[in-house]
Amino acid sequence: MSFDHNGTGIKGKLFGLPGTVEDASLVVIPVPWEVTVTYQEGTAGAPEAILQASHQIDLYHHHLAEAWKIPVAMLPVADTLVTENNSLRKLARTHIQALEAGQGAETGTVITAKINEACENLNIYIKSQAQALLQAGKHVAIVGGDHSTPLGLLRALAEKHDRFGILQIDAHADLRKAYEGFTYSHGSIMFNALKLPAVARIVQVGIRDYCEEEARMMQRASGRVKTFFDPDIKAQLVEGTTWKSICEKIIQELPPLVYISFDIDGLKPYLCPHTGTPVPGGFEFEEITYLLHILLKSGRKIIGFDLCEVGADAWDANMGARILWELCQHTVASHKEKG
């Protein structure tokens, strides 16, 4: 009660807010994992970097009254995951470099088998953490790391809810089957999400970098994948369609319960220069916060989210912290009774 939300935030606390995991309405699980990344490295350091940047955010929200009163917290970054990630990343790098040189078929199966086993163990670990928090009545989120990291949370939510949709903001479709031999590749998260019967639909927004395999997957998904391609969105905006009407069409495709999967490379590259695989195009920060605002106004409930592929540099961490603030606030607000 004595916390001055107009003053200096508490360093080392998420958004500089006091309180503990036990007190929190929403708990963030940090996953410092980027074993299967294929281009720029560094996202494993994002959870810690975002935490340290977050206490600089001013806590007044333009749309949501008294947002600072919502108790949120982040679990400690597990040193054991950092160590394991670093070790496995070296193996994966060797395999990927061999593939890029036109080699790797012989030794690759040994490496990929070891990494696939470790990634499945990670999924089991994250699912267990998520289930314990959900049973305690918390909202749960993931901060990666690469985009493979939220599968454990998705599995936990699929056991809690009979049916929900995924709103995926991303430059990439992530519908590859075991990309580069990695069952749990960052490029395969939505392929793996479709294995969960509770996932009724994946609504992809901002996709602009994908392969023919993924295009076929979109077509074969029997309506479970609806993609709003970035070039199509930009063409509509140039031709006079409002962003508001596009947002409304996106949200119409979603069921009442929504999970948000936010790959930061869905933004314009100048906002996330050190993400794993930056791609020209994408959205402004304000366009995404407006989409979240319209989603909230629709009455849909956000049952969880992930924020992935954030670089660990200061600017990237600052942007990641601000996106995380918006996701946390909109998630909790979506469960409040409307007056």
Q: What is the pLDDT of residues 52-78, one digit of tens each?
A: 999 999 888 888 877 778 899 999 999
**Using an 8 Å Cβ cutoff, are 308 and 320 in contact?**
no
Rounded Cα gap, residues 63 and 20, in angstroms: 26
Structure pTM? 0.96
In 10 A of CB 211, how many CB atoms?
Answer: 14
Written as one letter, the residue type at 300 is R
Written as one letter, the residue type at 41 is E
Give the Cα-Cα-Cα angle 68, 69, 70 (nearest 5 degrees).
90
Joined together, the tokens standing for residue 177 give: 């089957």
Which residue, 9, 8, 31, is CA-closest to 19?
A: 9
pLDDT tens digits for 180-223?
A: 999 999 999 999 999 999 999 999 999 999 999 999 999 999 89
**Using an 8 Å Cβ cutoff, are 284 and 323 in contact?**
no
In the beta sheet, which residues pair with residue 139? Answer: 26
Which residue, 70, 104, 87, is CA-closest to 33?
A: 87
Which residue, 313, 171, 157, 299, is CA-closest to 230?
A: 171
CATH 3.40.800.10 at 14-333, yes or no: yes
